[in-house]
Amino acid sequence: MFCIDNLPVLLLPKLTELASLGSQAPRLALVIDAREGVFLREVPRILDEVRRAGHQVEVLFLDASDDCLIRRFSETRRRHPLAPSDSVAEGIRRERAALRDLREMAHQVIDTSELSVHDLKRQVQARFSPAEHNQPAISLMSFGYRYGVPAQADLVLDLRFLPNPYFVPELKGLSGAHPDVMRFVLERPDAQVFLDKVVDMCRFLFPRYQHEGKAYLTLALGCTGGRHRSVAMVHELYRRLAPTQSGIQVWDRDLEKE
C-alpha cells in the first residue's frame, strides 16, 4: 500500500490512472485535510469521477472532541492552520465547517479522543487489512462504562448484571485476564448462559455481515471500570469463537486505566 499525505484532490484521477498501468494496481491511502482549502468542495465530484473509472473508494474520517484537539495542539505547540492569531478553538470551528461534507460522506468515522496510536492502528487494520476468505474483521472489545461507551462499537452488551470482582479484596488489584478473576466471573451460571447466547448470536450474525460485504465489526462488552468482568468475558468469548472464525482480535480498551 502507498500512503500519500495531503495530495491535492484534483490530482486523484491522474494518480489512479497512473497506478492502474502496472500489472497489479497498488492500494492507495490518501490523506486529505483542511489544507485543501477551496478545493475541498471538489471532493465529491472527484470521488465520483474516480468511481466511474472503476476504482473502489472508501472514506475514513478521523475525528476527536474539541477539548482533545485543543490539548493536542497545546502539547505539540503547533499553530492550527485555520486559526486566527492563537485562537485554536476558532481554528477547530472553521475546520469542522470546512470538513463537514467530507465527514458526511465517510464510510466510517473513528473518534480518536481516547485512542492511543496503537488502538487507532488496530482499528484501521481491522477495516482495511485483507481478511481471510473475505470474512469481516472482528474486534472483541472490553470497556468500562465509567469512561464512556466506545463510539466505534457496532454492538454493545452490558455485563454489569454479574457480580463485581472489584469488591472482593483479593481480586480487586488483579485484571480480568488473571485466572482467579476469570474463575470468579465464569463460574457464575448467568455468565455461562450469557456466553452461550452471545456465541449463538455471533454465529448467526457474522455470516450475514459477510454476505452484506461488511469489512469489520466491533462487539463491545462493558462493565463498570473495564478491568474485571468485561475483560474475563471478552477473553472467554474469543476462546470460543476463534477456532471457527478467522480475523478475530481482542482489545481491552480500559484495562490499564485507574
pLDDT at 133: 46
> Rounded to the nearest 5 degrees, what angle is found at the Cα of 178, between the Cα atoms of 115 and 240?
80
Same-domain pairing of 120 and 143: no
Q: Are residues 43 and 73 in the same domain?
A: yes
What CATH code is carried by the domain that includes residue 18? 3.40.50
Give the number of domains in the chain: 2
Q: Are 153 and 216 in contact (CB under 8 A)?
A: no
What DSSP string describes 134-145? GPPEEEEEEEEG
At which of 82, 108, 127 does a domain end? 127
SS3 call for 149: coil
- Domain membership of residue 258 (yes or no) is no
Structural domain of 22: 2-127
Q: Are residues 24 and 62 in the same domain?
A: yes
Query: What is this structure's pTM?
Result: 0.60
pLDDT confidence of residue 258: 67
Whether 179 is in a domain gets the answer: yes
Indicate if 62 and 136 belong to the same structural domain: no
Contact 257, 119 (CB under 8 A): no
135 in the same domain as 114: no
Residue 257 forms part of a structural domain: no
pLDDT of residue 2: 79
Q: Residues 221, 224, 230, CA angle at the centre, nearest 5°? A: 30
Contact yes or no for 217/139 (Cβ under 8 A): yes
Residues 151 and 207 in one domain: yes
Which helix (H) or strand (E) segment holds residue 45: the answer is helix 43-52
The residue from 99, 127, 155 where one domain ends is 127
Cell of 180: 482467579
SS (H, E, C) 229-242: HHHHHHHHHHHHHC
Are 16 and 113 members of one domain?
yes
pLDDT on residue 172: 94
The answer to whether residue 207 sits within a structural domain is yes
Same domain? For 118 and 142 the reply is no
Instruction: Note down pLDDT in tens along the chain; length 258 residues.
Output: 678 888 888 889 988 888 887 766 678 888 888 877 777 888 889 999 999 998 889 899 999 999 999 888 888 878 888 887 768 888 899 899 989 888 888 888 888 888 888 778 877 877 776 655 456 678 899 999 999 998 888 899 999 999 999 999 999 999 999 999 999 999 999 999 999 999 999 999 988 887 777 767 889 999 999 999 999 999 999 999 999 887 788 999 999 886
Q: What is the pLDDT of residue 118?
A: 76
- Residues 200 and 114 placed together within one structural domain of the fold: no
Instruction: For residue 140, give the amino acid letter.
Output: L
- Chain center to CA of 178: 26
| Residues 39 and 102 grouped into a single domain | yes
Residue 106 lies in a domain: yes
Clarify whether residues 180 and 121 are in a common domain: no
12 lies in the same domain as 93? yes
Last residue of a domain, one of 127, 151, 177: 127
pLDDT of 83 reads 81
> Residue 218 contacts by C-beta under 8 Å, 6 or more apart in sequence?
123, 126, 138, 139, 141, 150, 152, 153, 154, 155
